[in-house]
Amino acid sequence: MSSAEQPVVLTCAQPTGQLHLGNYFGAVRNWTSFLDSHECYFGIVDQHAITMPYVPAELRQSCYKTLALYIACGLEPEKCNLFLQSHVIGHTELAWILGCLCPLGQLERMTQYKDKSARADEGVFIGSGLLYYPVLMAADILLYNADVVPVGEDQRQHVELTRDLAIKFNATYSDTFKVPSLNIPKHAARIKSLQDPTRKMSKSDPNQGGVLYLLDEPNIIRKKIKSAVTDSGSEVRADDEKPGITNLLHIMSASTGRSIEELEAAFAGSQYGAFKEAVAESVVDLLTPIQERYKAISEDKKYLEGVMKAGADAAQKRAYKVLSKVSRKAGFVERPR
Ligand code: TRP
């Protein structure tokens, strides 16, 4: 475990039970870069997962799977605290207090809320938890008084709300929260769908052939990359007019650490077919050790529960301090001992 003087990193993600290459390059691999220099808290936000219709038994399974995947991707439990949000008392409690400071209109204007609640038209039930989602996320962040909160571009508005709420709390009561700065990695490879390279690779893509999952078998990876859409012409070159080939170049570059220029030079004169085979092998080489580690731990519930417990204990220790301070400032009577 990291020593107390190190800066604190906190980030969270939903328990999807599946990760694709875009999640890996855009998020999880980036998180591993903090392990040796920061005290790290990585949360699996199961309480956020119930803001849309879901199946309880699947949620539970997904939490185990997501945890095993994170460990397999290199988030070693010896170097970071991996925890489930619902195991730490304080997230929902702080969300309540922050919610009482948060103007209703600001929540109604959040783009994710507007997008997701539009599904009411399809008959999807929309509960108030969805409206409250960003307040719970603000609580996740502020409860740890973290120095760094790495998130993707799609979370910008949520982190801005978190900053507003931290400032509002500090002004209303007294200085309590560090106002988190936005930490959106600019250089993170933006991986697109193999079938529509103008769109982000996404788990909810109706065309699943465009999505490379970390647990896809090598032959599935090869098949998906072989069927990836390419562009007219025959040159292997990164270019706005060649989104398909550009995406494959980014995937291979992120998988191997070789630069785009280096790859363009290496495949000058190659056919698309040969290039695609090389891309596929680079992805298979990257994923094989991750899949092996996953296989070794994913069925070991005892081990995973031990990791969850250690993570939750450490997270709780830090969260408790902030929660007690906040409760006192909010005017709650200290719990009699
Ligand atoms: N909303 C984030 C997402 O969908 C997940 C999340 C919840 C989060 N709480 C957080 C991310 C706290 C960073 C910090 O990706």
Residue 185 pLDDT = 74
Please give the number of the atom of ligand 1 that sits closest to the Cα of 137: 9
Q: Please, are residues 8 and 41 in contact by the beta-carbon 8 Å criterion? A: yes
Ligand 1 touching residue 91 (CB < 6 A): no
- Report CA(82)–ligand 1 centroid distance (Å): 14
Task: Provide the H-helix boundaries in 90-201.
Answer: 91-99, 104-108, 111-117, 128-142, 156-172
The pLDDT assigned to 1 comes to: 47
User: Which residues of the chain are under the pLDDT cut of 50?
Assistant: 1-2
Question: What's 190's DSSP letter?
Answer: -
Q: Which two tokens stand for residue 8?
A: 């604190």
DSSP one-letter code for 157: H
Angstrom distance (rounded) from CA 42 to CA 45: 9
What is each CA distance from 315 to 127, 135, 150, 210, 319, in whole angstroms?
28, 19, 18, 37, 6
Does any ligand 1 atom lie closer than 6 A to the CB of residue 161?
no
State the distance from the centre of ligand 1 to the C-alpha of 44, rounded, in angstroms. 9
Residues contacting 208, CB < 8 A, separation 6+ = none
200 as an active site residue: the answer is yes
Residue among 308, 313, 315 at smallest CA distance from 8: 315
The residues near 60 (Cβ < 8 Å, ≥ 6 apart) are none
Length of the chain: 337
Going by C-alpha positions, the residue among 27, 50, 36, 28 that lies closest to residue 6 is 36
Q: Per-residue pLDDT tens for 249-305?
A: 999 999 999 999 999 999 999 999 999 999 999 999 999 999 999 999 999 999 999
* DSSP string for 63-74: HHHHHHHHHHTT
Please report, as a single letter, which amino acid is at residue 219.
N
Atom of ligand 1 at shortest range from CA of 151: 13
Q: Check pocket membership of 39 for ligand 1, CB cut-off 6 A.
A: no
Q: How remote is the CA of residue 141 from the centroid of ligand 1, in Å?
A: 9
Distance 228 CA to ligand 1 centre (A): 30
194 lines ligand 1 (CB under 6 A): no
Tell me if residue 149 falls in helix, strand or coil: strand
Residues 125 and 120: their CA atoms lie apart, in Å, by 6
pLDDT of residue 188: 67
Which residue's CA is the closest to the ligand 1 atom numbered 8? 12
The answer to whether the CB of 214 is under 6 A from ligand 1 is: no
Find the distance separating the first CA and the last CA of the chain, reported in whole Å: 31
Whether 45 lines ligand 1, by a CB cut-off of 6 Å, is yes
Q: How remote is the CA of residue 12 from the centroid of ligand 1, in Å?
A: 5
